[in-house]
């Protein structure tokens, strides 16, 4: 009787141990290996994420359409007045021409990239603040593969965002370069020195470049641009990564520690461009 009660009292503790050991085993096991159940789970759950984002987009577009309809009606009434008063239809044509020119301009961004590329939309972020994954709305079906480089246009610059680490049929997960486990081979645009860039976590505004020899210090200046080197890397060369913010030379270290301000503001990202890799490029 007494033993039974003690057993019941400790039942939740036994359960805790079993569950913690199981989840701990998963962490250890999946550290080096991409585990299939994760992809299956991602496939299923990201489907719903896509659904929610799609519904919100639809609602937003519907509301926008109503607004646009209202605005269109006002514009129409104005146009009628204008036509009646001074035959102002030409102005409308000029406005259309301007819009057309703007759209062409935007289209050229995508066309100017020398790699085959795929514009994608962010449908979800990592559910946990500690991590920085980004879920996008395209996957295997659209030609995205694991390790495909991901970029974005911000302030008229094509900047490196990260790489694909998990792909399902219609969605993928991007690991950004500011993640602590991201590494990118980089080069300084002016001085041509090379180094290895790593993230400092999504809670830090900077990236860190290491393994740059101390002799490079005099030729590195604040705001110098950093680009991908393309050396034995999954990232093609020449993509902008950031600008030098500070250079530290420690006495006991043979290489420099360079902090870089990324060209991409990761909290402002909405649309991304996935570069579809050609085997010949690698």
Using CB under 8 A, list all residues that contact other proteins.
Answer: 11-12, 15-16, 19-20, 22-31, 35, 37-38, 41-42, 44-46, 48-49, 52-53, 56, 122-133, 135, 165, 173, 175, 178-181, 199, 201-204, 266-267
Q: Report the nearest approach of other proteins to the CB of residue 206 (Å).
A: 13
Query: Residue 90 Cβ, how far from other proteins at the closest point, in Å?
Result: 41
Beta bridge partners of 172: 136, 167
HSE-CB at 255 with a 13 A cutoff on CA atoms is: 12
Nearest to 248 by CA among 187, 206, 190, 186: 206
- Compute the distance between CA of residue 133 and CA of residue 138 in angstroms, rounded to an integer: 15
For residue 257, the minimal CB distance to other proteins (Å) is 18
Smaller CB separation from other proteins, 92 or 131: 131
Minimum Å gap between C-beta 243 and other proteins is: 20
DSSP string, 193-245: -EEEEEE--TT-S-EEEEEEEGGGGGG--TT-EEEE--TTSSSPTT-EEEEEE
Nearer to other proteins, 149 or 187 (CB): 149
- CA terminus-to-terminus distance, the chain: 70
CA 175/CA 7 separation, integer angstroms: 45
Joined tokens for residue 99? 């819009």
Q: Which is nearer to other proteins, 34 or 97 (CB)?
A: 34
Judged by beta carbon, residue 53 or residue 191, the one nearer other proteins is 53
CB of 215 to other proteins, least distance (A): 29
Minimum CB distance to other proteins smaller for 3 or for 268: 268
């Amino acid at each position: 009787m007494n033993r039974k009660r003690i057993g019941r009292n400790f039942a939740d503790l036994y359960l805790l141990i079993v569950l913690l050991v199981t989840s701990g085993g998963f962490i250890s096991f999946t550290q080096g290996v991409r585990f299939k159940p994760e992809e299956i789970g991602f496939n299923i759950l990201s489907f719903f994420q896509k659904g929610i984002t799609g519904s919100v987009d639809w609602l937003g577009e519907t509301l926008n359409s109503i607004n646009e309809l209202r605005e269109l009606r006002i514009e129409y009434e104005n146009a009628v007045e204008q036509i009646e008063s001074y035959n102002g239809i030409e102005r409308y044509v000029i406005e259309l021409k301007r819009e057309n020119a703007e759209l062409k301009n935007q289209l050229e961004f995508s066309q100017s990239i020398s790699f085959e590329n795929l514009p994608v939309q962010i449908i979800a972020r990592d559910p946990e603040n500690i991590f920085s994954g980004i879920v996008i709305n395209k996957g295997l079906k659209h030609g995205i593969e694991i390790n495909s480089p991901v970029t974005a246009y911000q302030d008229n610059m094509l900047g490196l965002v990260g790489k694909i680490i998990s792909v399902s049929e219609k969605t993928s997960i991007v690991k950004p370069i500011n993640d602590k486990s991201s590494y990118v081979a980089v080069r300084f645009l002016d001085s041509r020195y090379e180094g290895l860039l790593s993230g400092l976590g999504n809670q830090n505004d900077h990236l860190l470049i290491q393994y740059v020899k101390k002799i490079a210090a005099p030729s590195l200046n604040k705001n110098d641009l950093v680009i991908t080197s393309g050396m034995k890397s999954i990232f093609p060369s020449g993509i902008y990564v950031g600008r030098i913010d500070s250079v530290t030379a420690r006495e006991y270290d043979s290489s420099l520690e360079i902090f870089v301000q990324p060209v991409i503001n990761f909290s402002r990202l909405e649309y991304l461009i996935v570069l579809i890799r050609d085997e010949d490029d690698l």
